[in-house]
Structure 1
Amino acid sequence: MLALIPDHAPIDVMMAEILPMISAIRFLEKEAASLLKDAPLSVLGRPIWLWGVKSHISRRPLGVVLIIAPGNYPLMLAGIQTLQALAAGNTVALKPAPGRTALLKHFVSLLTQSGLPQGVIHILPEDAGPKAVQEAFDLIVLTGSEETGRKVALAAAQNLTPTIMELSGADPVFVLPSANLSLVARALHFGLTLKHGSTCIAPRRVFVHGNHREALGAQLALLLKNSGANHQTHYPALDKLTLTIEQAGGSVRKLGAATILLLDADQAALADVDLFAPWLALIGVSDMAEAIQIESRSRHALGASIFGDEKTARALAKQIPAGSVTINDLIVPTADPRLPFGGARASGYGVTRGREGLLSMTRAVSVSTRRSGAFHLLHHARILHGKFSR
């Protein structure tokens, strides 16, 4: 399996792909049956005019789910979404990202060896995306960019096909005055180097008190220097961003493979971009209230991290629109298979993973059975209804 993702470090593949998917499988094995079984409603709270009626809610599969897989997490994201769709009773059409067909074919072969019936998963050609989204699938799940999300949503609307959009972020990190800057620097270094920065919830916009920005930048620079990370890849979009930053009066530091932008609060919007590369912006703010004001105007709302004392961080978390918030950590806690994952604004809508992600692969059907007390169906009641309906 590791050999089929040669462009990512084996430790990243193991930690960020294989282990989270194994955890998700165990979650489904343990929880799926109980989450998907019929749920009877208690007679307590039943409206009095429904005396004699018993109801339950049934979760039914949607049908055929189209999953458009990403290239940055080609096994974990595509695998978990596929397994959730199958666990809910659907069949799957799986469209790999460029260069990932061999990986997903191997994944499907392992499922087949484990007893999955032939034909339950159909792997599409890598270039089949534009045509596939025009077909009448029962659900489309996309993991991709905002631009791709718009195109898929427009095409899906022609058939009124529901969609789940897991789109990119420009994740904020809030560094409280009480934060341990050494811990923050280590976390930012991890986020910058994990999969060479190709993570949708990598740290991008780091809000830090102006007095602490230089100290944090110095600790991060030391870590980048000592780690020897020098995976040199040319990112034209990052070149364009750095030019924009310099023209706006910000500073740019190249530290090995990483790019660190130094911005003031009034320049923060320049870093609110969907860009996969090893970069982040250290944004000097007067306090966290100013950071929250900036965040309230941001286009993306996928993940966020807060560093500092827990009580203050929890209060701040309530003001952040992101779908996933971590305190004194980043990225790793979101791999908990019990947690739903999704964003808002330009980061998409709907969720995958967790209880909510599994249920999103189904539709709810209510079934009500009357056993007695149907007053409105009695003969005299129908006569009265006809009299007063004239």
Structure 2
Amino acid sequence: MNSHPVPHMDSTADLSRGADPLEAPALAAQALVAQARVAETLQRARRIGRTWAARPIPERLRIIRRARHLIARDCETLAALLLPRRSVPETLVSEILPLADAARFLERRAAGLLAPRVQRRGRPVWLPGVRAEIRREPLGVVLILAPSNYPLFLPGVQILQALTAGNTVCAKPAPGWAAPLQHLARLLAEAGLPDGALSILDDTQPCAEAAVQAGFDRILLTGSAETGRSVLRAAAPRLTPATMELSGNDAMFVLPGADLNLVASCLAYALRLNGGATCIAPRRVFVTPTAAPLLEQALLTRIQTIAPVVVAPHVLASLPALLQQAAASGARVLAWPAAGLVPPIVVADAGPDLRLLQQDVFAPVLAIVPVRDMPHALELAAICRYALGASIFGPEPEARAMAAQVNAGSVVINDVIVPTADPRLPFGGRGESGFGVTRGSDGLLEMTALKAISIRRGRLRPHLGAPTNRDAARFATMIRWLHGQWWRRP
């Protein structure tokens, strides 16, 4: 389950472009207030960060464990705070359960992952007496910019990982979705997290812009590619490093021999889940011409009972033009938005040049693209600049072989979406789907800075003497002895 584009976040200069001149003073005042609040929160987080980072990892993990127990205690309360994003049952399994599992993963694995690593083997012979060690240290204060489609699970895992690694955190909720993160912060405080180690910022646009420019030690954004560009531009003057979990237009490959009923059921699930607002949902379904009509019929049978949904205004505004372009190109659009609602939309006989196959459409929409074979499907899939996830259906040996060829950060075989929430797995995209990872072992390590420590023991330090011309022959002999092929005859 992945990111929904957060509302567009331009730099302050871009935001004011074209604004009503009468509103400019008010906007400037809001920006100044937001900058002052963010700066104060950041300073406070830095102060508490020194003592939080110094706490032993087992102490931090005891807080994470207590927080997990409290999340379980308040699971229904947390789910209720996410209405009407989705129903309580769906929220419990799509946001609360994977969040708790992510906490338990940290309890089991974080101490070993964050422990110093001594390099015991492979020391060069020219470094006698040197002991090498690699440490993982906190970054400092981490800024988390949360999405609106999974406003608790996605930022919640990032918060837990950042805190476990010894960072302090400021999280900016998506507009209108502050309550779930505020409740999570209260649970962490109840679990023993020091005051100021986690701050929930305002959910406003001025706050987001001020935070991006404030000088945090890392920014984690879950949002659209457009928002990612804006954040990187605003963060560039301070060279703030960032992890970008961005848009998707995911491919599905239906191999010969695939169970078309299973494929249809998985596609229907993806169209229904969260009203289609899941970046890792399949949008481009590549299938052979003989299987395409069978898959189409099986899918239409399964989506008849799925109710139309409300989508974001900018999505609703852009969708008709994309569908009209598809229809004009010869594709069959089997449903259309009506009365401001979007039903599950299947575009059959879609050609590879459709704009629908190139944009991050955050609605219950997918296109069935007939292809000659799977090599042809890979060629067409590579046209899209997004590379977040992919799914492959078919016999496992063939599917595994194809997974190695697919350009995507995450590949699921014979299922969709759900396995990507496995707390053991990293999650991240390629291309315009972003860079860096969250979740899993790699996501935890991304919340740290590497430090290499070398300790010289004994009195031998031959490099301290100035080399002479006679040393050149000895050095050359040593290099040939270590790395040459002197023991082999021509």
Asked if TM exceeds 0.5, the reply is yes
Q: Distance in 2 between matches of 1:200 and 1:266?
A: 20
**CA distance 1:283–1:373, change in 2 (3 Å):** farther
1:131 paired to 2:217: no
Superposed CA deviations along residues 280-320 of structure 1, whole A, max 9, x for unmatched, are 00111111111100122221000000000000001111111
Superposed CA deviations along residues 137-160 of structure 1, whole A, max 9, x for unmatched, are 100000000100000011111110
Offset at residue 266 of structure 1 (A): 3.7
Query: For residue 328 of structure 2, what is the amino acid of its counterpart?
Result: Q
Question: For the Cα contact (< 8 Å) 2:147–2:222, is it kept in 1?
Answer: yes
Q: Distance in 2 between matches of 1:371 and 1:291?
A: 59
Question: For the Cα contact (< 8 Å) 2:347–2:366, is it kept in 1?
Answer: yes
Offset at residue 384 of structure 1 (A): 4.7
Q: Distance in 2 between matches of 1:96 and 1:336?
A: 23
Alignment of 1:156-235 (within 5 A): 156-225=235-304, 227-231=305-309, 233=311, 235=316
Equivalent residue for 1:279, pick from 362, 365, 368: 365
Superposed CA deviations along residues 190-231 of structure 1, whole A, max 9, x for unmatched, are 111000000010110000111111111111111111x34333
1:303 paired to 2:389: yes
Moved more, 368-377 or 24-33: 368-377
1:33 paired to 2:93: no
Query: For residue 191 of structure 2, what is the amino acid of its counterpart?
Result: S
TM-score normalised according to structure 2 size: 0.76
Q: Distance in 1 between matches of 2:203 and 2:223?
A: 14
Compare CA radii of gyration and give the structure with the larger one: 2
Alignment of 1:285-324 (within 5 A): 285-324=371-410
Offset at residue 130 of structure 1 (A): 1.3
Question: For the Cα contact (< 8 Å) 2:185–2:199, is it kept in 1?
Answer: no
Equivalent residue for 2:325, pick from 227, 244, 247: 244
Secondary structure of the corresponding residue to residue 279 of structure 2: coil
Superposed CA deviations along residues 299-342 of structure 1, whole A, max 9, x for unmatched, are 10000000000000011111111000000001011111010000
Q: Distance in 2 between matches of 1:350 and 1:68?
A: 15
**CA distance 1:264–1:252, change in 2 (3 Å):** closer
Q: Distance in 2 between matches of 1:149 and 1:72?
A: 16
Question: For the Cα contact (< 8 Å) 2:79–2:96, is it kept in 1?
Answer: no
Which residue does 2:101 correspond to in 1?
23
Question: For the Cα contact (< 8 Å) 1:269–1:298, is it kept in 2?
Answer: no
Offset at residue 64 of structure 1 (A): 0.5
Question: For the Cα contact (< 8 Å) 2:143–2:219, is it kept in 1?
Answer: yes
Q: Distance in 2 between matches of 1:26 and 1:95?
A: 24
Secondary structure of the corresponding residue to residue 254 of structure 1: coil
Question: For the Cα contact (< 8 Å) 1:9–1:195, is it kept in 2?
Answer: no
Equivalent residue for 1:374, pick from 450, 454, 460: 460
Moved more, 243-252 or 62-71: 243-252
Unaligned runs of 5+ in 2: 1-77, 337-341, 473-490
Offset at residue 383 of structure 1 (A): 7.2
Query: For residue 80 of structure 1, what is the amino acid of its counterpart?
Result: V
Q: Distance in 2 between matches of 1:32 and 1:122?
A: 23
1:342 paired to 2:424: no
Offset at residue 268 of structure 1 (A): 5.1
1:254 paired to 2:335: yes
Question: For the Cα contact (< 8 Å) 1:174–1:305, is it kept in 2?
Answer: yes
Bigger strand fraction: 1
Question: For the Cα contact (< 8 Å) 1:51–1:373, is it kept in 2?
Answer: no
Secondary structure of the corresponding residue to residue 205 of structure 1: strand
Question: For the Cα contact (< 8 Å) 1:376–1:382, is it kept in 2?
Answer: no
RMSD: 1.7
Percent of matched pairs sharing the same residue: 48
Equivalent residue for 2:164, pick from 79, 87, 91: 87
**CA distance 1:270–1:224, change in 2 (3 Å):** closer
> How many pairs are equivalent?
383
Q: Distance in 2 between matches of 1:322 and 1:372?
A: 50
1:150 paired to 2:150: no
Secondary structure of the corresponding residue to residue 81 of structure 1: helix
Q: Distance in 1 between matches of 2:379 and 2:106?
A: 39
**CA distance 1:269–1:239, change in 2 (3 Å):** closer
Query: For residue 159 of structure 1, what is the amino acid of its counterpart?
Result: R
Which residue does 1:61 correspond to in 2?
138
Equivalent residue for 2:412, pick from 297, 312, 326: 326
Offset at residue 232 of structure 1 (A): 5.2
Offset at residue 9 of structure 1 (A): 1.7
TM-score normalised according to structure 1 size: 0.95
Q: Distance in 2 between matches of 1:296 and 1:266?
A: 10
